[in-house]
Amino acid sequence: MFNLVMFGPPGAGKGTQSLRIAQRFQLKHISTGDILREEVRRESLCGKLARDYMDKGMLVPDEILVNILRQVVEENRYVNGFVFDGFPRTLVQAEELDQMLEREKLMIKLVLELEVNEDELVNRLVKRATDQGRSDDKPEVIRRRLETYHNQTEPLLHYFRNQGKLVTVHGVGTIDHISDMLYREIEKFHP
Ligand code: AMP
């Protein structure tokens, strides 16, 4: 199995690029944001717990995310690999994911970071608010989500760098060009 993590701030293009990568390399795309939005829509217990955090631009507690991930990994034993999109976002999640995969004799092979400057991120998120009407794409929530990324998620870069798994790709340009750069990095590991 070939497992990779798409890493970067909100608005970096993780979702768009993860979907393309998953399709091209026949991998299973796992977006924890999508899973949580679906739980909120269904008004499940997990969705009810998660909603307040999401609406405020805060991270949903690790315990909820770890449970979701455990279920997803168990339900997809026979896939070629996973593209994790928006997970892990904390050190606890990263360590849990490593342990979860290790128990199945699996591992994360590659972490692709999309690097995008702050002004561009804000512009994209504001545009997405208009196009998709996501409830957490309001200006004050956008600011909080970027802060949350810098304070709680960005420090994970050290963890991945220490593991020798981190590759950073410039995330500004056409979607096709960025995909090509990402595909090239993946093909070094997964021809
Ligand atoms: P996303 O679509 O990835 O930007 O996620 C939307 C929201 O879902 C985030 O702002 C968080 O509130 C929540 N969320 C998604 N993934 C995670 C995660 N791995 N850990 C904690 N919260 C998450």
What is the set of domains in the chain, with CATH numbers?
4-189 (3.40.50.300)
Q: How far is the CA of 32 from the centre of ligand 1 (A)?
A: 6
Determine the pLDDT at residue 185. 97
Mean of per-residue pLDDT scores for the chain: 95
What percent of the chain lies above the pLDDT cut of 70?
99
- Give the long-range contacts of residues 23-27, CB within 8 A, separation 24 or more: 24/183, 25/80, 25/81, 25/186, 25/190, 26/80, 27/2, 27/79, 27/80, 27/81, 27/82, 27/83
Report how far residue 48's alpha carbon sits from residue 39's, in angstroms, rounded to the nearest whole number.
Answer: 8
- Count other C-beta atoms under 10 Å from residue 72's C-beta: 17
Q: What is the pLDDT of residue 191?
A: 65
Q: Which atom of ligand 1 is nearest to the CA of 136?
A: 10
Q: How confident is the model at residue 10 (pLDDT cuts 50, 70, 90)?
A: very high
CA nearest ligand 1 atom 19, residue: 87
C-beta 18 within 6 A of ligand 1: no
| pLDDT of 137 | 82
Strand residue runs (E) in 12-80: 28-31
- pLDDT at 136 > cutoff 90: no
Strands 3-7, 166-170: pairing kind: unpaired
What's the pTM value of the predicted model, to 2 decimals?
0.96
pLDDT score, position 128 = 86
Residue 164 above 80 pLDDT?
A: yes
